[in-house]
Amino acid sequence: MIREKNNVFYLETENTEYIFRITEGGYAEHLYYGAKLNDDNTVPFEDKLFFVRGSCIEVDDVSRRISMEHFKSEFSENGKGDVREISVDIVHADGTRTCDFVFMSSDITEGKYELEGLPSSYAGNDSVMSLVVKMKDNNSGSILELIYGVFEKANVITRAARIINNENGSIRLRKIMSSQLDLDEYKQYDFVGFAGAWAYEMNMVRRPIKAGITSQASFCLNSSSRFNPFCMVCESKACEDYGEVYGFNLVYSGNHYESAYMDVFGKVRFMQGINPSEFGFVLERGGVFVTPEAVMTYSGSGFRDMSRNMHRFVRENIVRGEWKYKERPVLINSWESCYFDIDEDKLFTLAKTASECGMELLVIDDGWFAGRNDDTSSLGDWSVDADKFPSGLANLSDRLKSIGMDLGIWVEPEMISENSDLYRAHPEWAVRIPGKKHALGRNQMLLDLTDNDVRQYITDAMRRVFSCADIKYVKWDMNRIVSDSYGNGSTDNQLEFAHRYVLGLYEILGTLTSEFPHILFESCSGGGNRFDLGMLCYTPQIWGSDNTDASCRVHIQTGYSYGYPMSCVGAHVSQCPNHQTRRVVPLSTRFDVAVFGALGYECNLDELSQLELGQIREQIRFYKKYRKNIQSGDFYRLMEDENEIQWMSYDDAAGTGAAMIYRKRVVPGASFSRIKLCGLKPDAVYEFTGGEHEKIMTTGDVFMKAGVKISEGFVHGDNENDARFLVDDSTRIYILEERK
């Protein structure tokens, strides 16, 4: 709900409230973001700015003189004394850089606003209102729109900004953020980001915010595994179930920037948007620039509730289309099974065994198109390799149907190999500075998505691929980052290249996903190098990491779970020894970790023993029984220490859930594991079963407050019958069912 009273705007969700006002002089002053309040009176928490300190700059705000340096602003600007980090920086038509944005008008509407050319959240089954506050620059006449969306049930507030050039000539945008949040000075805050690399995604980095700038960014062209755009600012004592936590994300797949600037008094300014170092946009008179959408949520009770808000929001208001809540198929992927060594018969044999185990879809990964026998060639030439598939892919999909399997395919549409017919015909379509030597990544170059002809080529080529057989699933990969950036669609100003590339990508994805609504799309970028809300607007799931070792995956997936529901993380059971780490981890562990995500298998089934195939059959039977509950349930991180991780997913409507316990090393004498469950109905009675012996019936209240102690995880001479037979890297899954 959004209300305005005496120039104060109240943005309320079920449990949170965001308040700002327009001062007498027309400035947008932030007042509060936190737990919902039961009184509209803002006087108690307004800043008491009685005088302007020492060397600060004074701004006349009609009835008071203020310094912008100490003002909690909704969107800070350059040139009027706010010498902290600012949100908008413009070179005006006359070459000056000062802005003085003051209130013009506001518009509150039911429903969700749209952002032209960009993906953004939508109302879904939530009740959503939008607010646009129009500000005019006293100096130049240009317009700044501050855009807000309020998602009542999700407890989320979205933001964006729009600039309209009203000046007598072109202006240059040097920086424009999507959101800014000025926080009061009385708390010690931490900045929590998720840093990573290839096969090493989503490692939590928690830093105390000190005077100055604490920041993170992507410079890769995509949102990147280096720093995921999801991050948090929390009070320094915050943990899973205690403390004030703000969660932030950006609906964007390009270079992003997040920072927390603390002044010497302890006021913290958070901002998030397109990375200004890789950006600069020229707007002609009348031209409009709209930022990507930022997402914010607040929890007064720790990370867990913040994550739950984000999960619900992503599931209900970001992911869309036919596959939004549809149970995702169990797939077998050819990559770690066969790499480039594929052909129709080999894949059919793999699929046959997979189908006997209960799997539902075969994904032909890399290597299916003409001339592609390793990673040095052929990207861009999207025709089926006639040697490997002499009867085309349609023949394989027909054969698969006869054994109850569907067909999926891998593509990497944004890329071009130098050794390809496409490059020979159109070298100018590759991203490279004309006449200069270009650096390769995985032997390939990017296609220039700022160029209309290139976008048309990719769209047509993919249309043909997706229609050449009964394709039910597409894995959209992207295996390099940018270098030597240059776009034909941004020839006058190469600082526009990165953002225009992302807009081009969204145009292609928008066209293809709406033309092929039945296809389940999974995004991928050498694993999690583009795991963001922008991609999730088109693809309901993203391959979490090329690291398929469950003992690493359990950490990577825990990292994702802070900002994203596990149902959008592609997770596979792969071969042992693991192909990335050579580690041997039990098959049950590999399954128990993958089962919380969108499950697949990625191993050569025909090399497995009958015993292992029997285990896999049993795993898939189990998964199919609980897949709906696990995929649509609320996910909780129950606990984590040096030797143990516990997760849980619970479907409240069905009263069914699953809890997982991961023991890294067997340590005789170590304490019992205790699982304290979350999210249950206190008075309902549940049965908890699983592991070796556990079969316990009690109330949700007992399970949540006292928890369940699990039997010992090591053996003791002949007294072993009561123990869990664990080896290092062992897991157990327990099922929880409400007894009505």
Q: Which is nearer to ligand DGJ, 355 or 417 (CB)?
A: 417
Q: Which is nearer to ligand DGJ, 135 or 524 (CB)?
A: 524
Tokens 């797939």 map to which residue?
Answer: 331
> What single string gives the DSSP state of each residue in 424-465?
HH-GGGBS--TTS----BTTEEEB-TTSHHHHHHHHHHHHHH
Per CB under 6 A, the segment of 188-196, 282-290, 315-323, 522-530 that binds ligand DGJ is 522-530
Long-range Cβ contact pairs of 670-674 (< 8 A, separation 24 or more): 670/643, 670/713, 670/714, 672/709, 672/710, 672/711, 672/712, 672/713, 673/644, 673/646, 673/709, 673/710, 673/713, 674/707, 674/708, 674/709, 674/710
Site for ligand DGJ in 162-221 (CB under 6 A): none
Amino acid in the structure at residue 58: E
Q: Which is nearer to ligand DGJ, 177 or 474 (CB)?
A: 474
543 binds ligand DGJ (CB under 6 A): yes
Beta strands in 15-81 (DSSP E): 16-22, 28-35, 59-60, 65-66
Q: How far is the CB of 340 from ligand DGJ (least distance, A)?
A: 8
521 binds ligand DGJ (CB under 6 A): no
Q: How far is the CB of 384 from ligand DGJ (least distance, A)?
A: 17
Q: How far is the CB of 547 from ligand DGJ (least distance, A)?
A: 10
Cis peptide before 577 (omega within 30 of 0): yes
From the list 526, 540, 544, 700, which residue makes contact with ligand DGJ (rule: CB under 6 A)? 526
549 binds ligand DGJ (CB under 6 A): no
Annotated active-site residue 341? The verdict is no
Q: How far is the CB of 359 from ligand DGJ (least distance, A)?
A: 17
* Residues constituting the chain: 740
Per CB under 6 A, the segment of 174-182, 520-528, 574-582, 607-615 that binds ligand DGJ is 520-528
Q: Is 502 helix (H, G, I), strand (E, B) or coil?
A: helix
Q: How far is the CB of 534 from ligand DGJ (least distance, A)?
A: 18
Per CB under 6 A, the segment of 126-134, 524-532, 612-620, 679-687 that binds ligand DGJ is 524-532
Q: How far is the CB of 503 from ligand DGJ (least distance, A)?
A: 24
Q: How far is the CB of 552 from ligand DGJ (least distance, A)?
A: 15
Per-residue binding letters, 372-411, with ligand DGJ (x by CB under 6 A): --------------------------------------x-
Q: How far is the CB of 432 from ligand DGJ (least distance, A)?
A: 22
Looking at residue 720, the DSSP 8-state letter turns out to be: -
d(CA 558, CA 19) in angstroms, rounded, equals 33
Residue nearest to ligand DGJ (CB): 366
At residue 736, what are phi and psi to the nearest 5 degrees? -125, 125
369 binds ligand DGJ (CB under 6 A): no
From the list 524, 536, 568, 605, which residue makes contact with ligand DGJ (rule: CB under 6 A)? 524
Tell me the β-bridge partners of 735.
Answer: 658, 689
Q: Is 10 helix (H, G, I), strand (E, B) or coil?
A: strand
| Catalytic-role residue among 100, 385, 477, 651 | 477
Site for ligand DGJ in 466-505 (CB under 6 A): 477, 479
Q: Count Cβ atoms within 10 A of the Cβ of residue 671 and give its class: 0-12 exposed, 13-18 middle, 19 or more buried.
A: exposed
Per-residue binding letters, 681-720, with ligand DGJ (x by CB under 6 A): ----------------------------------------
Q: Which is nearer to ligand DGJ, 602 or 694 (CB)?
A: 602
365 binds ligand DGJ (CB under 6 A): yes
d(CA 692, CA 449) in angstroms, rounded, equals 55
Amino acid in the structure at residue 239: C
Q: Which two tokens stand for residue 414?
A: 């944004």
Q: Which is nearer to ligand DGJ, 293 or 546 (CB)?
A: 546
Per CB under 6 A, the segment of 296-304, 462-470, 521-529, 609-617 that binds ligand DGJ is 521-529
Asked whether the beta carbons of 657 and 703 are under 8 A apart, the reply is no
Q: Which is nearer to ligand DGJ, 479 or 580 (CB)?
A: 479
Q: Count Cβ atoms within 10 A of the Cβ of residue 626 and give its class: 0-12 exposed, 13-18 middle, 19 or more buried.
A: buried
Helix 344-357 with 610-632: angle, nearest 10 deg: 70
Tell me the β-bridge partners of 417.
Answer: 444
CB atoms < 10 A from the CB of 377, how many?
18
Q: Which is nearer to ligand DGJ, 182 or 365 (CB)?
A: 365
Q: Which is nearer to ligand DGJ, 259 or 529 (CB)?
A: 529
Q: Which is nearer to ligand DGJ, 527 or 563 (CB)?
A: 527
Q: How far is the CB of 735 from ligand DGJ (least distance, A)?
A: 31
| Catalytic-role residue among 546, 549, 634, 651 | 546
Q: Which is nearer to ligand DGJ, 543 or 734 (CB)?
A: 543
d(CA 693, CA 218) in angstroms, rounded, equals 48
CB-facing half-sphere around the CA of 279: CA atoms within 13 A: 25
Q: Which two tokens stand for residue 424?
A: 């020979």
From the list 33, 335, 623, 650, which residue makes contact with ligand DGJ (rule: CB under 6 A)? 335
From the list 276, 504, 527, 700, which residue makes contact with ligand DGJ (rule: CB under 6 A)? 527
Per-residue binding letters, 404-423, with ligand DGJ (x by CB under 6 A): ------x-------------
Per CB under 6 A, the segment of 207-215, 523-531, 630-638, 722-730 that binds ligand DGJ is 523-531
From the list 240, 366, 451, 651, which residue makes contact with ligand DGJ (rule: CB under 6 A)? 366
Q: Which is nearer to ligand DGJ, 339 or 348 (CB)?
A: 339
Sheet holding 2-5, edge to edge: 2-5, 8-12, 16-22, 28-35
What residues contact 734, with CB distance under 8 A and at least 6 apart?
A: 658, 659, 660, 661, 675, 688, 689, 690, 691, 694, 708
Q: How far is the CB of 442 from ligand DGJ (least distance, A)?
A: 8
Asked whether the beta carbons of 535 and 320 are under 8 A apart, the reply is no
Q: How far is the CB of 240 from ligand DGJ (least distance, A)?
A: 31
d(CA 558, CA 576) in angstroms, rounded, equals 22
Q: How far is the CB of 524 from ligand DGJ (least distance, A)?
A: 5
Q: How far is the CB of 339 from ligand DGJ (least distance, A)?
A: 8
Q: Which is nearer to ligand DGJ, 89 or 365 (CB)?
A: 365
Secondary structure element (H or E) that encloses residue 216, with its range: strand 212-217
Site for ligand DGJ in 104-133 (CB under 6 A): none
Looking at residue 478, the DSSP 8-state letter turns out to be: -
| Residue 735 Rama label (left phi>0; alpha psi -120 to 50; beta) | beta
Annotated active-site residue 546? The verdict is yes
d(CA 547, CA 553) in angstroms, rounded, equals 7
Tokens 């100490």 map to which residue?
Answer: 70
How many residues touch ligand DGJ (CB under 6 A)?
11
Least Cα distance to 734 among 702, 698, 692 occurs for 692
Q: Which is nearer to ligand DGJ, 316 or 366 (CB)?
A: 366
Which residues make up the interface to ligand DGJ (CB under 6 A)? 335, 365-366, 410, 477, 479, 524, 526-527, 543, 546
* Catalytic residue IDs: 477, 546
